[in-house]
Amino acid sequence: MVKPSGNLPKILLLGDDENQRVRKVAARLKPQIEQFAEVVLCDFEQVEDLSGVDADLAVVLGGDGSILRAAHQMGYRQIPVLGVNLGRLGFLADLSLEELPEVLVDICAGKFASIDHLMLNCEVFRSGEVVNQSLGLNEAAVMTGDPFAILDVDLYVDQEFMTTYSCDGLIISTPIGSTAHSLSAGGPILRKDVQAFVITPVAAHTLTVRPVVDTADRIYELRVTSPHPGTSLVVDGELICPLEAGDRVRVARSEAKFQLIQVPGQSYYQTLRKKLGWGGRLQSRKSD
């Protein structure tokens, strides 16, 4: 392999060291990457503020959780991400460790395409003031919490009252998040490049209530008139803050866009078939 001439791209090497393989794999990969790029930062504790780091792209080792955390670390300054799957499911980290050497040279030479994906801004208003603001890649959810009784959540779309959900929680997810918590709650799968949000109730107490898909150009507001002591806002699986009576949770499209490198030979439906085990036909049991 010949080292390219000119300015080398600057790379972040990221991962979660709770996965015992991460540091071992990183130690093996780093010399290979440095043949074609400059590794400007390694962060395996996922604590660095990456929004101010000068880099061209990030290589994330692990699973979707590690990529999710990296997106949060980058904040409103997102750079292209290449996910290398060391986990289990891996909808975002769909490149295997064995496949990485084949694409590494082209990626470091800038011969890659990255696709922008929708992110959301989530704000909590209390007495007219913003008391919390979060950036999300997967979803924002109001969850019932202790004592885990049914919760009534009012939903407004562009300030128009839509309905009241009696449920264990209400999720507003991005297309990327449609294969996460929303999918587990019975929501639909959206292509990752669709510009829409999915509204999915968790264990709704009405049989006619179904998930709703609407454009990402609208503003969604969740209100809980009578929250439980443990009722909280959760963004991308992280507890953000408890909610009080009168709080308004506003969800809208973010200016930040998550950038995922498109790996040659990989496609969206191929990933779904592989990760969700879509066989395409029923298998009959042979008799003895």
Residues classed as catalytic: 64
Task: Write the CA distances from 158 to 146, 149, 266, integer angstroms.
Answer: 30, 29, 37
Structure tokens at 274: 């592989």
In whole angstroms, what is the distance from residue 221 CA to residue 210 CA? 18
DSSP assignment string, 28-70: HHHHHHTTTSEEEEEESSS-S-GGG---SEEEEEE-HHHHHHH
Structure tokens at 194: 């669709």
Return the half-sphere exposure (C-beta side, CA atoms, 13 A cut-off) of residue 188: 13
Picking from 244, 222, 215, 218, the residue whose alpha carbon sits closest to that of residue 156 is 222
3-state percent breakdown (helix, strand, coil) of the chain, nearest 5: 20, 40, 45
Enclosing H/E stretch for 225: none
Contact 32, 61 (CB under 8 A): no
The residues facing 250 across adjacent strands are: 123, 221
Q: Which SS3 state, helix, strand or coil, does residue 236 take?
A: coil
State yes or no: cis peptide before 147, omega within 30 of 0: yes
